[in-house]
Structure 1
Amino acid sequence: MDLETIRKMDANDPLLSFRGRFELPEGVIYLDGNSLGALPKATAARIADVVSREWGQDLIRSWNKNHWIEAPRRLGGKIARLIGAKPHEVVAADSTSINVFKALSAAIQLRPDRTTILSETGNFPTDAYMMQGLAKLSGGRIEPKLLPAADIPAALDDQVAVLLLTQTHYKTGRLHDMAALTRAAHEAGALVIWDLSHSAGALPVDLNGCDADFAIGCGYKYLNGGPGAPAFIFCAERHHDQVFPALSGWLGHADPFAFKDAYEPGAGIDRFQCGTPGILGMAALECGLDLMLEADMAAIRAKSQALGDLFIALSEARLTGFELASPRDAERRGSQVSIRHAQGYSIMQALIARGVIGDFRAPDILRFGLTPLYTRYEDVWLAIEALVEIMQTAEWRETRFATRSAVT
């Protein structure tokens, strides 16, 4: 495939107009939207208005006048449209890690006679760490268990309270079969939590269609909410009134402004709120969500798969010494392509120095996020061109590229 053909693919892209609605630095090829989404152009003006008018002029009146207090539920309803949930089953709140804890502790309450919380080895660390912390808090009653993905179905016995899995693996982009695994867990009497951090906004998700129990995810990757954007939590309606939140913060109270001494869980998903929402973060995330909701998810998924297929084809045709770490089958792959190389860190730093931004995941993964709203097919071509040159010239061997930064 030549560059002229690839440019024709861009010209015929039904999502092409969305690219102009993001701030994308000149001369930069950004392939890290699976780690931090690009800045929507509408966000800066929205944040400025929140700061100067809503905060600066309306002050505390903005909780009512500018609907700050409604932001977690309002944004939750918008996220629900992207993940196959009902508006009243999702709330935007806190961080992904905190919401993992909320979901795990809720699931354990719903299965009090069971002692195992199960996930896969190599899952994103915060999920495993929260499992371990909750087990420690239980005084030994709860046992966290991590197994290879292939061993998960057979491990679903009568002691498993909850299965926690990330739908799209953060390193490889491998997709779990959400419907099949949820069904298997339910047949064993266990509940399921799905981490959608690398799925929400990148591919169609149907939580209710799969009969999921809980889900969590972040707002700063494909939802383009900005660094540290609020996360979200989903709880199926059937579980709402059965859970007493372990993190029983004041905003999750049934009547938070009554300021009572005793906690009474709020109705429905409101009980999964905890502390005061960060309004600046909510405002930025809402801009990303509104932009995302204008696009057709089927078109997003089709382009994501085509971008991944193109990346794999070009890299295998032009590079040696790399190993494909992502599934070759686009149906089994999220919106990223990962390749392995023993010197992956230095190679990625050399790429970034050339203006091609991906990221590195230890020990040997070069990870390239493919964000259909602003990634062009030509970007993939140019990224491979740069990678070929770096390998041919051994540019990556320069000492400056071997120094590890705090964030990789």
Structure 2
Amino acid sequence: MTDFAATRRAFHLPKGVTYLDGNSLGPMPVAARDRVARMMGDEWSEMLITGWNKAGWYVQPRKVGDRIARLIGAGAGEVVMGDTLSIKVFQALSAALALRPGRRVILSDSGNFPSDLYVAEGLARAVGAELRVVAPEEVEAAIADDLAVLMLTEVDYRTGRRHDMAALTAKAHGAGALALWDLAHSAGAVDVDLTGADADFAVGCTYKYLNGGPGAPAFIWTHPRHADAAQPILQGWMGHDAPFAFDLGYRPAAGVERMRVGTPPVIALTALDAALDVWDGVSLSDLRARSIELSEAFIAGVEAQCPDVALNSPRDPGRRGSQVSFRHPQGYAVMQALIAAGVIGDFRAPDVLRFGFAPLYNDLGDVDRAVETLARILRDETWNDEKFHQKAAVT
């Protein structure tokens, strides 16, 4: 049984704040500050460039990748870290397209994160492929025999709607296509099983539920059956078979190592490694059960006390990730008033109030405080103050 009281104590949670935005940026693990300070004091400052070997900086992407593998249903040596999520989407998608020569259709949905669609659109234009975008509920019916790659984010960033990874992957395979999954809102939030679902490629970020910090590096997974055949368009120095031979021609490294691109962000990986310590001993089935408990309690409380908002997430918890959203015509102002009152969620255009539930540090007390505060703001129309309508650059 996972001790969620102990995992909560592992985070710095500012006094007086109820934090329900871990689906956008996780809070700081207490250990991260000291770990990064030690790295900078004992490694960077004293070892200088010898730290790549002495401190193991060069192999960080593999070692940290192995720690994430357990959380997404992957095996050792199958996940590698580095770069941004958009870069990893580009690599995985270009490699998947190349594995299906003669097919040029990429299928995604309108619930996908726009950045993924931007990457797919640009790649499709460059290689003469076609990007088809349908509504989330129309994906299964849109899988046809001309499909090359099904590219989906498992959990919708606005509604929390969760795709059936195993069923849609099987449908794509039945049509002769490959399946690429973005786990940005899944890893560390739900019980992901890439191997069990027989997916082909997966990518994800680590600054949300994995709590790696702002700008933390992304990860990429390649199914072992594709690992030595995948040929991403973006071929980087660190993905070469022998980077320090300085060959002018590219020769891909074995397995997922070829998905490395640039120099590893050592400081960021150090913070992420510290954040992953919190996961030692955490059961993913316990995590999922706790997530459902929290989100169900929140929905029940809001619907009982806040008649001015409408549920924007699936009611069935089995079809939902670890986030809940409600709609309100003045969603932005309502969220700013909530934040000012110490309850931090976020807003997504055009009218969505979004709340993430991270079982490692959220509890039922957070749910009660959030419900009570939202009810008071709506009842008193506190949100109607002019200052709450002034939009900031980041919403």
Kindly provide the CA deviation profile for residues 324-346 of structure 1, in whole angstroms up to 9, marking residues without a partner as x: 01111111111111101110000
Q: How does 1:7-406 map to 2 (within 5 A)?
A: 14-138=3-127, 141-406=128-393
Counterpart-to-counterpart distance in 2, 1:303 and 1:142: 42
Take 2:138 and 2:38, find their aligned partners in 1: how far apart are those partners?
A: 51
* Shift of residue 296, structure 1, vs aligned partner: 1.6
Residue 288 (structure 1) shift: 1.3
Q: 2:58 aligns to what SS in structure 1?
A: helix
After superposition, the CA RMSD in angstroms is 1.1
* Cα shift readout 1:5-36 (whole Å, capped 9, x = no counterpart): xxxxxxx9841111111001000000000100
Which ranges in structure 2 are unaligned for 5 or more consecutive residues? none
When the two structures are superposed, what TM-score results if normalisation uses the length of structure 1? Answer: 0.95
Provide Cα deviations, 1:353-379, integer angstroms capped at 9, x if missing partner: 011000000001100111111111011
Distance in 2 separating the partners of 1:397 and 1:379: 25
Shift in Å, 1:391 = 1.1
CA drift of 1:52 comes to 1.3
CA distance, structure 2, for counterparts of residue 236 and residue 298 of structure 1: 23
Distance 2:360 2:143 in 1: 38
8 Å Cα contact 1:84/1:207 also seen in 2: yes
Distance 1:102 1:114 in 2: 18
Alpha-carbon distance between aligned partners in 2 of 1:335 and 1:292, rounded to the nearest angstrom? 17
Per-residue deviation, residues 104-128 of structure 1 (Å, max 9, x unmatched): 1001100011011110013100111
Paired amino acid for 1:115: R
Note if contact 1:95-1:218 (Cα within 8 Å) is conserved in structure 2: yes
Q: Distance in 2 between matches of 1:211 and 1:122?
A: 22
Q: Is the 8 A contact 2:2 2:281 kept in 1?
A: no
Shift of 1:152: 1.6
Query: Partners of 2:277 and 2:178 in 1: how far apart?
Result: 32
Q: Post-superposition shift, 1:289?
A: 1.4
Is the 8 Å Cα contact of residues 2 and 286 (structure 2) preserved in structure 1? no
2: distance between equivalents of 1:18 and 1:158?
47
Q: How much does 1:399 deviate? A: 0.2
Measured in 2, the distance between the counterparts of 1:136 and 1:130 equals: 10
CA contact (8 A) 1:14 1:299 kept: no
TM superposition shift of 1:245? 2.4
1:296 counterpart letter in structure 2: S
Number of matched pairs? 395
- In the aligned structure 2, how far is the partner of 1:161 from the partner of 1:321? 44
- Cα drift, residue 380 of structure 1: 0.7
Runs of 4+ deviating beyond 6 Å: none
